[in-house]
Amino acid sequence: MKRIVIINGPNLDRLGLREPEIYGDQTLTDLENLLTEEAATLGVDVQFYQSNHEGFLIDEIGEYADSEVFGLILNPGALTHTSLALRDAIAGSDLPTVEVHISNIYRREEIRQHSITAPACIGVLSGLGFDGYVAALRYLANLD
Ligand code: CA2
């Protein structure tokens, strides 16, 4: 069965606890439950990883690259706007990766409007809330 890993970066473990006006009131566990249900419908296997540490995220992506993982859904959090190292890890993994943002980064402060990681990804979904992750999962489930 095709395996897709959903990776959430710094502070996304705090979803639902603060700033509901930006990120909604649902938690990371709610997101993981939603994607587990969707995966069952699509007939794919999902695995989840969250870390607040850039190096851990990079190590993890490297491990997926050398495994049976088919593709990644990645919300790099604020590392989106700062981390060339994370972009290199995505590019070096050769795994089809969809970047997802809960909020629309293009409607926010200027510093959030540029993604350093996006050029290493197949596409970006930004501003669709949790639906962006669901759409990314459907996309990867149908990708050959
Ligand atoms: O919109 C997104 O998904 C972001 O990737 C979220 C990041 C932000 O730095 C990006 O610019 C856009 C931050 C996630 C922090 O989420 C929190 C949620 C609740 C409480 C505290 C932080």
Q: What is the pLDDT of residues 27-71, one digit of tens each?
A: 999 999 999 999 999 999 999 999 999 999 999 999 999 999 999
In this prediction the pTM is 0.98
CB 25 within 8 A of CB 40: no
Percent of the chain beyond pLDDT 70? 100
- Phi and psi at 123, nearest 5°, equal -160, 175
In which domain, by residue range, is 18 found? Answer: 3-142
Q: Which of 7, 8, 12 to mutate to test the pocket of ligand 1 (most atoms within 8 A of CB)?
A: 12
How many structural domains compose the chain? 1
Q: Which of 17, 19, 23, 121 to mutate to test the pocket of ligand 1 (most atoms within 8 A of CB)?
A: 23
Give me the CATH number covering residue 117.
3.40.50.9100
In angstroms, rounded to a whole number, what is the distance separating the alpha carbons of residues 41 and 60?
27
Q: What angle do CA 94, 100, 105 make, to 5 degrees?
A: 125
